[in-house]
A = this chain, B = another copy of it.
Amino acid sequence: MLPVDEQLKVITSGTMQIVPLEELKKKLEKGTPLNIKLGVDPTSPDLHLGHAVPLRKMRQFQDLGHNVTLIIGNGTALIGDPSGRDSTRPPLTEEQVEANAKTYVEQAMKVLDPEKTQIVHNGDWLKGLNLAEMLKLMSQFNVARILEREDFHNRYTEGKSIALHEFIYPVLQAYDSVVVKADLEMGGNDQIFNLLAGRDLMRAMGMEPQVALTMPLLVGTDGHKKMSKSYGNYVGLTDEPADMYGKVMSITDELVPLYWRLCSTADMDKLDAIDAAFADGSADPYALKRELAANIVDLYHGEGAGAAASAAFDAQFKRAEAPAEMPEFPVSVAEVNDEGKVYLGKLLVEVGIAKSAGEARRLVDGGGVKINGEPVAPKCYNVDPALLSAGTTVQSGKKRWARLV
């Protein structure tokens, strides 16, 4: 394992809080792999870059040689984490949770190293808890302390309902830490109460308490609100490469260093260099944003996908020269012939760009015909039908346009 100082440089990168840092140092100094815990309630099947922030941190722990346990909260999902909420979550069915969990793991494994990840389901130990065991756990918790939590406190003082079962969430999450014997639990910065609850419960049960590590909630592409599907400011982990690339390109320049640190696979030296360049004004935000977008697309779609998305991004900009309004035709006008191709001599007539097949062929040979902004090579009168789908533009020069719909 790396020396403790070097490990800490990676571990602390981008974090909000580590409570207490001294204990983490002591744990690392033992020189044996730590148990790192992340619990997730698969309440939504679609993950975004915000969800991936703690997963990235987990991956860093894996790369440092530590053990990583991902707890699928199929037990806690019966409640739904009230952290940061201003109202009670609707409960999920068992089936929803299972389906979401499956999708979650698939997505999470794009970030984590599957070989080095232990996946467990807290339903395995939570669902079998009986009344006496539940009560014993609850008896370790103090009502006033739970009510001090910012979210509960706000709801209580504003007269908004808190259902009693929501108070049980931190108890169960804490018990998970006892079961997996966590050395460190990580979460978003709205999780600090739950993480410290785990610390308290482990201590009460005579165990070495876990360290709490929180990551910031990622700001969405709008630069204001936290990334969330409901705000429409998110980059989904399963977004198509072009979408993903384009969405990352839409973030404001100030967000570039933060996204590099929290979302990319860059190493510490690279991240520090980017920070320094932004600090002294020497950074090229546009270039760094394009590099960032490619890095993120590579991460989620495989090496090389970033470069392809970058090229597609450029092509998209060329298409952007097309007029906003143009004649539209159903895709069916692009008839596929016996050779499995679409004959442009016919198509260009159908969409009114040429008056005859002969004119159409001459336009192609003149190099002025483009499909989706990409020029058709001279003499190539037969094109692949895959190029001609709904939304495809067909043009001759800058004036004659048609769109398939």
Contacts and interface: CB of A to CB of B under 8 A. Distances in A.
A168 interface: yes
Interface string A144-160: 10110000100010010
A163 interface: yes
A130 B141 CA distance: 20
A321 B78 CA distance: 74
B134 A161 contact: no
Contacts of A127: 130-132
Contacts of A91: 139
Interface in A107-159: 126-132, 134-136, 138-144, 146-147, 152, 156, 159
B144 A164 contact: no
B130 A130 contact: yes
Interface in A71-94: 75, 78-79, 88, 91
Interface residues of A, number: 37
Contact of A143 (B128, B138, B139, B162): B162
Given A130-B130, A144-B159, A135 B165 contact: yes
Contact of A132 (B78, B141, B152): B78
23 contacts: A78-B132, A78-B135, A91-B139, A127-B132, A128-B130, A131-B172, A134-B134, A135-B165, A138-B164, A138-B167, A139-B164, A141-B163, A141-B164, A142-B163, A143-B152, A143-B163, A143-B164, A143-B166, A143-B167, A144-B156, A144-B161, A146-B164, A164-B167
Given A78-B135, A144-B156, 20 more contacts: A128-B131, A130-B130, A131-B172, A134-B165, A136-B165, A138-B163, A138-B165, A139-B164, A139-B165, A141-B163, A142-B162, A143-B147, A143-B162, A143-B163, A143-B164, A143-B167, A144-B159, A144-B162, A164-B168, A164-B171
Interface of A: 75, 78-79, 88, 91, 126-132, 134-136, 138-144, 146-147, 152, 156, 159, 161-168, 171-172
